[in-house]
Chain A
Amino acid sequence: MTAQSPVTAAFDPLAARADFEILAKPVYGKPLVYLDNGASAQKPRQVLDAMRDFASTDYANVHRGVHYLSGRATDAYEAARRTVQKFLGAAHEDEIVFTKGGTEAINLVAYGYLAPRIQPGDEIVLTVMEHHSNIVPWHFLRERAGAVLKWVDVRDDGSLDVEALEAAIGPKTKLVALTHISNVLGTVTPLKEIVARAHAKGVPVLADGCQGAVHEIVDVKALDVDFYAITGHKLYGPTGIGVLYGKRALLKQMRPFNGGGEMIREVTRDVVTYADPPARFEAGTPPIVESVGLAAALDYMNSFDRAAIRAHEHDLLAYAREGVRQFNWLRVIGDAPGKASILSFEADGMHAHDLATILDREGVAVRAGHHCAQPLMERFGVVSTTRASFALYNTRAEVDVLLEALARARKILG
């Protein structure tokens, strides 16, 4: 017949599921259908084993002792930093700052980078689809330093108008802070283009990559983004750890956020001098075991063809999106082209929490509420939505369960 087309190794979610023990444990006697990955992903045994192995073999505090285990632990911690560096495509390992999560990463930029640069009336440009973690730190600067928040709307389909964003950047703009992927809409923002346009006006860009790093293959060098914040637990890794990527030159200019051990060069009774980044921003004992877990999670993701995972997630989204068309009482919020595998919707006459309670009893875990994105809820005229967010281990069969459960909810509540 014809020549063979190039083979892309299809991703096998069923094989991957075997790595996630929790997915095999029923809830209410029914198979768990875990679709709350946008809030937090489950952890494969590779991550749990790595943490356990490290803690039971090589654990001690880092950067302190001269003893054997301290050296081993420091090596593991710094190796984790290099794993993150590679995962994000950062040029230098000192551009990777470990934080306790994505929220702290953004707060570090607000406090360490932007606060000293804000004069009353200076502007911060952000979009209406930001998570509260990429809103509230900027509100702090509004309250405390007189910064002005300039909001960029999204289109009705949830996509971002780059022209509108560019137009919002003015001579007083000190930072553009926007998400890479909306945690509610699934919209993937054209980050590279936005960064280019912001830079043309001399404005740096912080991207909230808490969803972006999960669903897209990120290369901060290619994006040329100035700051990129991620969190471990959405990346199949542990809670309690996140990362701020920052360009070396910017991190060097930043003042520390927390003061304490590890972040100093010298402390006397009269003066203190600070360590270079990233240590400057890692006061106190860092999340050591978690760093090992995060590295294991990134290795786990990279053990697959990431493009194939992405294709699988897109397939799930398309299948679910098509599936909910049968429900004329359901309105999907966010249909931007190329969006990531996050499906938010509103149901006629059914509150998201009622819907989620009924789905829960069918074993289907979804998120219901405002998703820490109240300005976006307001933009779409809703109080809350129900959100199904898909991960690499989800399957079409699970989408079918979701659809059946939705139909059942309608029967009960409708």
Chain B
Amino acid sequence: MDDTLRELYQEVILDHSKHPRHFGKLDDATNTAQGHNPLCGDRVTMYLKVDADDRIQDIAFEGKGCAISQASASLMTDMIVGRTVAEAEKLMGGFLHLVKGEDASGLDPDDRERLDVMAGVSAFPMRVKCATLAWHTMKSALEGGAAAEAV
């Protein structure tokens, strides 16, 4: 098998996509947003509970999508819970660099290591939007919930 494919669809990705963490709805969400990838019709709804100190107490997501988008959403929710909004946005910045094959050295080394499973996406430019959908939707939820489109 093609090495780039092996890297894209590695076990961790498939595991996240088949058993997504934080999958479901959050009844006491303070911030929600819907994301949509018009290319494939995939949709994701992101629920966040942000406390008075701007810390993300809890997060959940619902939706259907490809392995990449589901794994990315799952991994993201795992990683940003407990962080402040500013930290989450910084993480997102680094993630976007990573999946676009750009310089992601701004990422904290531990975060870089955890996100490494998504780095294979950079070899598939057509699939970058799949990986970024959840993140853009998360950001949109934090900014007040306007509908996000994969960009």
Contacts and interface: CB of A to CB of B under 8 A. Distances in A.
Interface in A343-379: 349-354, 357-358, 361, 368-370, 374, 377
Given A349-B18, A412-B1, A413-B14, A377 B41 contact: yes
A384 B40 CA distance: 7
A354 B68 contact: yes
B65 A351 contact: yes
Nearest to B41: A370
Nearest to B124: A357
B95 to A, nearest CB: 19
Given A369-B41, A384-B41, A413-B9, A351 B2 contact: no
Interface string A8-45: 00000000000000000000100000000000000000
Interface string B66-105: 1110000000000000000000000000000000000000
Contacts of A350: 67
B64 interface: yes
A357 B41 contact: no
A167 interface: no
Interface string A224-264: 00000000000000000000000000000000000000000
B52 interface: no
A286 B37 CA distance: 34
Contacts, number: 52
Given A349-B18, A354-B9, A383-B64, A374 B2 contact: no
B137 to A, nearest CB: 16
Interface string B43-80: 10000000000000000000011111000000000000
A86 interface: no
Contacts of B1: 408, 412
A interface SS class: helix
B151 interface: no
A135 B68 CA distance: 31
B20 to A, nearest CB: 13
Contacts of B8: 357
Interface string A372-402: 0010010000011000000000000000000
Contact of A361 (B5, B43, B68): B5
State which size class the interface on B falls in.
Answer: 20 to 34
Interface string A109-152: 00000000000000000000000000000000000000000000
Contacts of A354: 9, 66-68
Of A28, A368, A384, which is in contact with the most chain B CB atoms at under 10 Å from its CB? A384
Q: Residue among B1, B40, B65, B126 with the most chain A CB within 10 A?
A: B40
A357 B127 contact: yes
A361 B2 contact: yes
B15 to A, nearest CB: 12
Given A353-B130, A357-B124, A368 B40 contact: yes
A405 to B, nearest CB: 11
Contacts of A351: 40, 65-67
A370 B67 contact: no
A380 B39 CA distance: 19
Contact of A369 (B18, B40, B68): B40
In this complex, the member of A28, A353, A370, A413 whose beta carbon has the largest number of chain B beta carbons within 10 angstroms is A353
Contacts of A353: 40, 66, 68, 127, 130
B18 A412 contact: no
Nearest to A414: B14
B149 interface: no
A350 B65 CA distance: 9
A374 B39 CA distance: 11
A384 B66 CA distance: 10
Interface string B20-54: 00000000000000000001111100000000000
Contacts of B41: 369-370, 374, 377, 383-384
B67 A413 contact: yes
Nearest to A412: B9
Contacts of A408: 1
Nearest to B43: A383
Contacts of A358: 5, 9
Contacts of A28: 2
A243 to B, nearest CB: 28
Closest 10 CB pairs of A and B: A351-B66, A370-B41, A353-B66, A361-B2, A369-B40, A354-B67, A354-B66, A383-B41, A361-B5, A384-B40
Interface of A: 28, 349-354, 357-358, 361, 368-370, 374, 377, 383-384, 408, 412-413
14 contacts: A349-B18, A350-B67, A351-B40, A352-B66, A353-B66, A354-B9, A357-B5, A357-B127, A369-B41, A383-B40, A383-B64, A384-B40, A412-B5, A413-B67
Given A384-B40, A412-B5, A412-B9, 11 more contacts: A349-B18, A352-B40, A353-B68, A354-B67, A357-B127, A358-B5, A361-B5, A369-B39, A383-B41, A383-B43, A384-B42
